Amino acid sequence: MKLVCLSDNPSKPCFILFFKGVRIMLDCGLDIKQLLHFVPLLVVPGFQVSKARSWAQGGDRRTRVPDDITQELKDCGGRLLVDGAPEFAIPETDMVELSSLDAILISSYSCMLALPYITEYTGFRGTVYLTEPTLHIGRQYMEELVKYVERNPKSAVASKWKQENIIKSLPAPLRDAINPRQWRKLYTLHDINSALSKVQLVGFSQKVDIFGSLTVTPASSGCCIGSCNWIIQSTFEKICYVAGTSTLTTHPRPMEQAPLKNADILVLSCLTQTPSSLPDPMIGEFCINAAVTVKNGGNVLVPCYASGVTFDLFECLSGHLEQCGLAGVPMYFLSPVSDSTLAYSNIFAEWLSSSKQSKVFLPECPFPHADLLAKGRLKNFSSIHSGLTTDFHTPCVLFAGHPSLRMGDIVHFIELWGGSAANTIIFTEPDFPHLDALAPFLPLAMRVCYCPIDTSLNFSQANKLIRDLRPLHLVVSETYMKPPVLEPLRNDLTIEFEPSPLTYKQGEVLSLPVKRQFETVEMESELASTLEPVEVKPGAAVSMVTASLVSRDNKYILKRLPRSVQSLKKRRSDGTVLWRKPYIFGSPSLQAIVEGLKQQGFTSLKVEENESGSIIHLMKEDSLIQVDGSSTHIICDSEDVRLRLRDVMLKCLKQL
């Protein structure tokens, strides 16, 4: 049993599990963080970010980077960025022959954005398993990316800067870009549709059979709508894959712990990306900062994804503004897929927390944003060009994508509002380091707040969960075993477990310590009825079984041998008869043997007993029987007598 780690970012995981001849990919995360090395795409075609300058290299003429390469690069706010079509860091595709994958299990919509790269460009022929909300919201996230990128297309991919000798001489952080030669251009709408046509939907607690070898079951993980952990098991082994999981009470269905218990192996990924800040106080801080800004007449800009925590922000912020007497302040939500994410959120009732679910029976919409939309307090637009301008009032709170600040309408609003100190930009998404995201726009007059909200397990929650689940072995990212780089003394921000966990990192192959010993084989009842079990010990019986073994769809069935075969002796490949040794056991009493011998007409017996056993001397036949507990030795010269003695002994012993 093996586990291969293909992703560099444990929060956007991608693994391949080899188990019982089946190859399963666990999640298919896209590390969008590398996008931060690119010049932001403006919403208005043809425009550049105002801080973008061509790169004026200083230094020695001999070490200077050639001009055709500097054209690919731009100096933005003092940072060197790539000016070309955005590219994405996809999972490692060369380690395993991906066309041989049997299945892909997806834990949530945020861990599937690399799916088209795998399903469309590797010869993949398997099935993708995910829940219904994951399918729809995942599709919206992918489409959003495609729309952002296609809205303002950059024709050329910049690739000259990636040459090994060049990249070394570039300034940080571009110099430290991870595997840039493996980055890929974004997929297309056609790729998305084709990838998602390979999906088979599953519900929580549904048992899905994979080729008769394994059963996989999704269990709610409480992290976002439709998110799940996966239990991969055979009759005798159990592996749990715990991805983005939350034990907090937010809008999704709560996490289910019971199905994850007593696993042989527990693979843990997607722990919180902001271990030192708790979500609850951060939401509070977010609301206060937003309210203060609008009270003073400024605008609030919130870079966000089109679903997930954004919905909690709408709910909390609208309540807080109301309390502050600011209910009239409009909230805008800009995303090319805002229409569908908002609408879908309200029809996924069975995937929501019980309090949200119970609203549907009233009947009301489970999320308050439906009501906010109806009252006009929240307005959503697909882009700034779709009616926003005619209906735009300030001060306001504006939620827009993309949270990387490299594409989407948010770029326009940073340019528009960045010059005024009255405005505030509040970062809540933990996927991107906010200072790196903001770098191309510096210097900024606008206030910057950082309130990261990551509802995934933090280290103390994860440690508690592992203690409760008691897996035999734990597998975690190697980054979870040491404190975060910025807080080297926080030893509490690590995973603790005995025996010490196995760790994974990109490009590694782990051998999982599971030794398979048993497999289920079914026995037909007709065969069972022919068996004659011998009781060996009280409550324990044994029977020899000879049957034909039928193997189909990875299931094994023992059937009665056909009559024609039954009589035939089993032969070796060279045709000689294979002699089957009978199994004899028991320790007969001396008395029973003597009795047996007498019945067979052996009369002249002389019995001798010593410490190790006894010797029966058959005087007339001139033969000896040495009996000692677990063995009998018969010394006899006449074949006829030998056979008679053998039969007497077999009667006293048990045979299979």
Partner 1 sequence: MTDIKVTPLGAGQDVGRSCILLSIGGKNVMLDCGMHMGYNDDRRFPDFTYVAREGRLTDRINCLIISHFHLDHCGALPYMTEMVGYDGPIYMTHPTKAICPILLEDYRKINVERKGDTNFFTSEMIKACMKKVVTVNLHQVIQVDEELEIKAYYAGHVLGAAMFQIRVGQNSVVYTGDYNMTPDRHLGAAWVDKCRPDLLITESTYATTIRDSKRCRERDFLRKVHDCVEKGGKPFDRAYIENPGPMVVFATPGMLHAGLSLQIFKRWAPSEANMVIMPGYCVAGTVGHRILNGARKIELENKQTGIMQLISHCQPRNVLLVHGEAEKMAFLKNKIQEEFGIDCFMPANGETSVIKTRHNIPLDTALNLLKRQLLPAEAENSAQGALLMKGSHMQLTEPAAAFRELGVEEHELRFTCNIQLEEEGRVADTSERIYRVLQR
**CB-CB contact of 464 with 295 (8 Å):** no
> Does the protein bind partner 1 through residue 467 (CB under 8 A)?
no
Eight-class DSSP state of 475: E
Maximal CA-CA distance, the chain: 123
Which H/E stretch holds residue 655? strand 654-655
Euclidean distance between CA atoms 520 and 20, whole angstroms = 13
Euclidean distance between CA atoms 182 and 160, whole angstroms = 13
Q: Which of 541, 591, 603, 620 binds partner 1 (CB under 8 A)?
A: 541
Radius of gyration over alpha carbons of the chain, in Å?
36
What are the CA-CA distances from residue 627 to residues 8, 595, 611, 642 (Å)? 69, 15, 11, 15
Q: Which two tokens stand for residue 566?
A: 């039954």
Euclidean distance between CA atoms 562 and 153, whole angstroms = 70
> Does the protein bind partner 1 through residue 517 (CB under 8 A)?
yes
Please report where in the chains the tokens 């995981």 appear, as a residue. Answer: 13
Cβ nearer to partner 1, comparing 235 with 612: 235
Q: Which of 150, 519, 608, 647 binds partner 1 (CB under 8 A)?
A: 519
Euclidean distance between CA atoms 135 and 125, whole angstroms = 19
What are the CA-CA distances from residue 352 to residues 78, 342, 349 (Å)? 45, 14, 5
**CB-CB contact of 129 with 103 (8 Å):** yes
Q: Which of 100, 585, 599, 620 binds partner 1 (CB under 8 A)?
A: 585
The residues in 349-378 that bind partner 1, with binding defined as CB under 8 A, are 349-350, 360-361, 363
Residue partners of 519: CB distance under 8 A and separation at least 6: 234, 235, 236, 556
> Does the protein bind partner 1 through residue 207 (CB under 8 A)?
yes
Binding mask 42-81 for partner 1 (x = CB under 8 A): ----------------------------------------
Cβ nearer to partner 1, comparing 416 with 541: 541
Cβ nearer to partner 1, comparing 40 with 252: 252
Binding mask 556-575 for partner 1 (x = CB under 8 A): xxx--x---x----x--x--
Cβ nearer to partner 1, comparing 61 with 537: 537
The residues in 75-114 that bind partner 1, with binding defined as CB under 8 A, are none
Binding mask 613-632 for partner 1 (x = CB under 8 A): ----------------xxxx
Q: Which of 89, 202, 216, 398 binds partner 1 (CB under 8 A)?
A: 202
**CB-CB contact of 605 with 593 (8 Å):** no
**Span from 23-31, 336-344, 441-449, 539-547 in contact with partner 1 (CB under 8 A):** 539-547
**Min separation Cβ 517 and partner 1, Å:** 6
Concatenating the DSSP letter of every residue in 360-381 gives HTTT--SSTHHHHHHHTSEEEE
**Min separation Cβ 233 and partner 1, Å:** 13
Between CA 89 and CA 100, with CA 95 as vertex, the angle to 5 degrees is 105
> Does the protein bind partner 1 through residue 539 (CB under 8 A)?
yes
Cβ nearer to partner 1, comparing 165 with 631: 631
**Min separation Cβ 491 and partner 1, Å:** 40
**Min separation Cβ 650 and partner 1, Å:** 8
Q: List beta partners, residue 476.
A: 268, 503
Q: How many residues bind partner 1 (CB under 8 A)?
A: 71
Strands 623-628 and 614-618: antiparallel
Cβ nearer to partner 1, comparing 558 with 607: 558
Cβ nearer to partner 1, comparing 397 with 649: 649
Cβ nearer to partner 1, comparing 235 with 491: 235
